[in-house]
Amino acid sequence: MSQFPTIAFDGDGAPALTEREGHVVVFATPDGKTDAGGSALNRAMRGALKRCLEGEAFGKLEEGRGVTFAWPGGMKAESAQVIKLARSAKNRAAAIDAGASIAKSAGRKPVTVHGGSRPNIAEVAYGYALRAYDFDDHKTKKEDDDDRVASASFLVAKKDETAAAFAGLGAVAEGVHFTRDLVNEPSNTLTTTEFADRLKDLERHGLAVEVLEEEELGKLGMGALLGVGQGSESPSKVVVMEWSGGGEEKPLALVGKGVVFDTGGISLKPANNMEDMTMDMGGAGTVAGVMKAVALRKAKANVVGLVGLVENMPDGKAQRPGDVVTSMKGDTIEVINTDAEGRLVLADVLWYAQERFQPAGMIDLATLTGAVIIALGNENAGVFSNDDDLCAAFLKAAEAEKEGAWRLPMGKAYDETLKSRVADIKNVGGRAAGSITAAQFLKRFVKDDCPWIHLDIAGTASVRSGSDHAPKGATGWGVRALDRLIRDRYEG
Q: Say if CB 416 and CB 433 are below 8 A apart.
A: no
Q: Which of 387, 399, 411, 406 is nearest to 459 (CA)?
A: 406
3-state secondary structure of 433: coil
Q: What average pLDDT does this structure show over 465-480?
A: 94
* pLDDT score at 336: 98
Concatenate the DSSP letters of all residues of 29-73 into one string. -TTS-B-HHHHHHHHHTTTHHHHHHTSHHHHHPPTT-EEEEES-T
* pLDDT score at 147: 57
Is 14 a residue whose pLDDT tops 60?
no
Distance CA 454, CA 395 (A): 12
Q: Which of 28, 45, 54, 30 is nearest to 115 (CA)?
A: 28
3-state secondary structure of 386: coil
CA geometry: angle 91, 134, 254, nearest 5 deg: 70
- pLDDT tens, residue by residue, 239-293: 999 999 999 999 999 999 999 999 999 999 999 999 999 999 999 999 999 999 9
3-state secondary structure of 86: coil
What residues contact residue 307 under an 8 Å CB cut-off, 6+ apart?
199, 238, 239, 241, 255, 256, 257, 258, 283, 284, 287, 288, 349
Residues annotated catalytic, as ranges: 269, 343
Number of H helices, E strands in the chain: 15, 19
* pLDDT score at 89: 80
- Each as own residue / partner, the long-range contacts of residues 47-52 (CB below 8 Å, 24 or more positions apart, any chain) are 48/72, 48/73, 49/80, 49/82, 52/82
Distance CA 158, CA 431 (A): 57
Distance CA 18, CA 40 (A): 8
Cα of 311 vs its chain's centroid, Å: 21
Is 38 a residue whose pLDDT tops 80?
yes
Domains along the sequence of the chain with CATH = 6-158 (3.40.220.10), 173-490 (3.40.630.10)
Estimate the crossing angle of helix 192-200 against helix 282-296, to 10 degrees.
Answer: 10
CA distances from 224 to 230, 260, 325, 341, 466 (A): 10, 17, 6, 9, 36
- Indicate the pLDDT class of residue 492, thresholds 50, 70 and 90: confident
- Indicate the pLDDT class of residue 15, thresholds 50, 70 and 90: low
Distance CA 85, CA 67 (A): 12
Q: What average pLDDT does this structure show over 179-192?
A: 98
- pLDDT tens, residue by residue, 280-313: 999 999 999 999 999 999 999 999 999 999 999 9
Distance CA 49, CA 52 (A): 5
Q: What average pLDDT does this structure show over 437-455?
A: 98
What are 156's strand-pairing partners?
Answer: 11, 116
State the pTM of this model. Answer: 0.96
- Indicate the pLDDT class of residue 142, thresholds 50, 70 and 90: low
- In 213-360, DSSP assigns E strands to 237-244, 252-262, 302-312, 324-326, 332-334
- Indicate the pLDDT class of residue 141, thresholds 50, 70 and 90: confident
Distance CA 485, CA 464 (A): 28
Alpha-carbon Rg for the chain, nearest whole angstrom, is 24
- Residue 9 has phi, psi (to 5 degrees) of -120, 115
The DSSP 8-state label assigned to residue 206 in this structure reads T
Distance CA 244, CA 230 (A): 34
Sign of CA pseudo-dihedral 163, 164, 169, 170: positive
Higher pLDDT, 471 or 147: 471
* pLDDT score at 88: 86
Q: Say if CB 307 and CB 256 are below 8 A apart.
A: yes
Sign of CA pseudo-dihedral 484, 485, 489, 492: negative
- pLDDT tens, residue by residue, 208-240: 999 999 999 999 999 999 999 999 999 999 999
Cα of 461 vs its chain's centroid, Å: 7
* pLDDT score at 144: 54
Q: What average pLDDT does this structure show over 406-427?
A: 97
What residues contact residue 185 under an 8 Å CB cut-off, 6+ apart?
137, 278
Q: What average pLDDT does this structure show over 94-104?
A: 97
Higher pLDDT, 143 or 42: 42
Mean per-residue pLDDT of the chain = 95
Distance CA 352, CA 199 (A): 19
Q: What average pLDDT does this structure show over 29-33?
A: 95
Is 148 a residue whose pLDDT tops 80?
no
Estimate the crossing angle of helix 159-184 against helix 121-131, to 10 degrees.
Answer: 20
